[in-house]
Amino acid sequence: QAVVTQEPSLTVSPGGTVTLTCGSSTGAVTSGHHPYWFQQKPGQAPRTLIYDTSKKDSWTPARFSGSLLGGKAALTLSGAQAEDEAEYYCLLSNGGVRPVFGGGTKLTVL
Amino acid sequence: QVQLVQSGAEVKKPGASVKVSCKASGYTFTGHYMHWVRQAPGQGLEWMGWINPNSGDTEYAQKFQGRVTMTRDTSINTAYLELSRLTSDDTAVFYCASHSSGPVDWGQGTLVTVSS
- What's the rounded Cα separation, in Å, for the pair A102 and B115? 28
Q: Per residue in A57-80, pLDDT tens?
A: 999 999 999 999 999 999 999 999
**Window 49-88 of B, Cβ < 8 Å to A:** 59, 61-62
- What's the rounded Cα separation, in Å, for the pair B85 and A44? 27
Whether residue B107 lies within 8 A of chain A, CB to CB, comes out as: yes
Q: Per residue in B13-30, pLDDT tens?
A: 999 999 999 999 999 999
Contact between chains at A46 and B106 (C-beta distance less than 8 A): yes
First to last CA, chain A: 36
pLDDT at position B9 is: 98
A-chain residues near B101 (CB < 8 A) = 52
